[in-house]
Structure 1
């Protein structure tokens, strides 16, 4: 177990002392600050800040400065710790924004109230900039089945128990990926950290479960966090996420998992923001 895993394990123990938490966070933040260097991806080229004492190699490995690499597992464990310590914010609507990286690319948004009513903007076929009431069938979804705020709040907070719940969950196979049908929990776990209003303890469990994924790699520091690669369940194009471990957020991804469970891919990374808000823009009258 390396230094970062020890920190994550320490902070994850039940009711650590305030002094232990402070010491662990201080060590963690010092390590992350020493590694966090912003790079910009150009197809086939890795660029880093000129004059950096310890270069971040984005194409071949994770950033290092003392011989101990920050692995993909490290990043996810750190995010799990941060998620557990970050309370769910107040607000009336769960607001999700996905923005394409192309200059004129689409921007899709949704606002979901706690009773399940939803409003959407920027969906294919809709008028530009029009906020409309979502059809009744476009509800929050998890593994091919409707999920409510209450169900999300009751999900297991132990990683193994959460994976078992996912595997046992029944859904409409027409709304599931092939890997989900065959019992792989990866996409469902990603949905819990990328777009659904899961509570802090559930998000932490999802990050921990993903940390155990065989083959997860850290490609290095980029704008917004650490760029992680997951093998596609069953084989195929790698899943790429940019994770900010200090904020426990997925900030960009080449995979879009919409609130209602659809999957979409992009050759470029798509920006993702999630927040609680009390503001709903004016809704177009039908």
Structure 2
């Protein structure tokens, strides 16, 4: 089954070190501040006359307001900085894990929501084939590579990128929920699921970002509202665009969204996603 069919069914380099992450984060912060002045220290020698000193001072002023053009920020750099940020951002607390998806319909914006308790109970609003606007309890569990996965299993995933990929690859899974690229070892779609909708612990999210940074062909299309627009190949002829804020380690929106329930949502434009913990169930 090719990847386009796999997505339709769902609707139904070496690993970098911590030092590499820190270095990439520094480079990215420098590059994302294009107007930053770069001053050079000039020591005037006693032999210089007033005219020479004035000329040197003028040269200093010109240098300080004319920095060289910022170098492009790579997709790998963005993901590595997000990895560094993710490890220091607490997930939060609450009774229910709340996910909201928003995208543009034919006439109006469409919104889907879900709430999941730690004991596995699940509620959704505006899910496929449900009554519009109604929040109903349903049996949809969290899934990764088609395999059911709960809060405890997510919290037990490795925080090392290589070990994380090995654990994901070893999960019992449904073949029709696996893209060919994932079957070949890149594991792009489950890594994206871990950083978007699933209630993944901070250390595991960091490892997922770092592992994703090693994916061949990741590109940065440039800054957009909400972060940096990345293009990530899923397989030949199929790619995902997503907007990542490297400072908050959040995926703001994506063209293909791998859902917490193991499905996929596609849009010609973008699907926005927000996640949080809450103590309130929908009325």
Return the alpha-carbon distance in structure 2 between the equivalents of residues 166 and 224 of structure 1: 29
Aligned to 2:219: 217
For residues 117-156 of structure 1, the aligned pairs below 5 Å read 117-134=121-138, 136=139, 138-156=140-158
Other structure's SS at 1:191 match: helix
Change (3 A) 1:159 1:91: same
1:195 to 194, 197, 207: 197
Is this contact kept in 2: 1:111–1:120, CA < 8 A?
yes
Deviation at 1:168, TM superposition (A): 1.8
Return the alpha-carbon distance in structure 2 between the equivalents of residues 154 and 205 of structure 1: 13
TM-score of the superposed pair, with normalisation by structure 2: 0.76
Aligned to 1:259: 260
Return the alpha-carbon distance in structure 2 between the equivalents of residues 28 and 232 of structure 1: 25
- Runs of 5+ unmatched residues, structure 1: 13-23, 36-63
Is this contact kept in 1: 2:31–2:73, CA < 8 A?
no
Change (3 A) 1:248 1:65: farther
Aligned to 1:10: 22
Aligned to 1:97: 100
Paired residues in the alignment total 235
For residues 1-286 of structure 1, the aligned pairs below 5 Å read 9-10=21-22, 29=29, 31-34=31-34, 66-102=69-105, 104-134=108-138, 136=139, 138-233=140-235, 235-282=236-283
Other structure's SS at 1:210 match: helix
Return the alpha-carbon distance in structure 1 between the equivalents of residues 121 and 18 of structure 2: 42
Return the alpha-carbon distance in structure 1 between the equivalents of residues 262 and 151 of structure 2: 15
Other structure's SS at 1:238 match: strand
Change (3 A) 1:113 1:34: farther
Aligned to 2:52: none
Stretch moving more, 237-246 or 165-174: 165-174
Return the alpha-carbon distance in structure 2 between the equivalents of residues 180 and 216 of structure 1: 15
Other structure's SS at 1:166 match: helix
Alignment deviations for residues 169-189 of structure 1 (CA, whole Å, 9 cap, x no partner): 221223333433444411010
Alignment deviations for residues 234-256 of structure 1 (CA, whole Å, 9 cap, x no partner): x1232100001111000010002
Alignment deviations for residues 104-156 of structure 1 (CA, whole Å, 9 cap, x no partner): 1421111111111111011122111111001x2x1000011100100100101
TM-score of the superposed pair, with normalisation by structure 1: 0.75
Q: CA RMSD in A?
A: 2.5
